[in-house]
Amino acid sequence: MAACGTDDHAPSPSDARACLERDGFEVLGGPRAKDDENAPDTELIVGGKEASAFVAYYEDEARAQRYHSEIEKNATRFDGTVERHDALTIVWVRGEDTQEAARIDGCIL
């Protein structure tokens, strides 16, 4: 498993994307549109055979916290689960307990 971050910080969205793509995942998304103030600063949509997730990067932890309850509410619509790691939010669409999910975590955390 490739870990891209450090003990203090998750990898940048570009480093995480490179790691995910190297590991064979399909990755879509990028920086938010300037007129979409509610979107994360960067969002990656990660797809694999067993697991898929939305990964939301915020510039600061307070902004991630502000949107957390709304994200959790939206995730219940499709039985998703939500994890917050400081300024990073992961919405697991499926497969959060699989080996693929562990590989995704290794790239983004």
Residue-wise pLDDT tens digits, 29-80: 999 999 998 899 999 999 999 999 999 999 999 999 999 999 999 999 999 9
User: Is the pTM for the entire model greater than 0.75?
Assistant: yes
CA torsion angle 33 38 41 42 (round to 10): -70
| pLDDT band, very low/low/confident/very high, at 1 (cuts 50, 70, 90) | very low
Domain boundaries, the chain: 13-33+41-108
**Dist. CA 30–CA 9, nearest whole Å:** 19
How is domain 13-33+41-108 classified at the CATH fold level?
Gyrase A; domain 2 (3.30.1360)
Amino acid at 39: A
**Dist. CA 56–CA 43, nearest whole Å:** 5
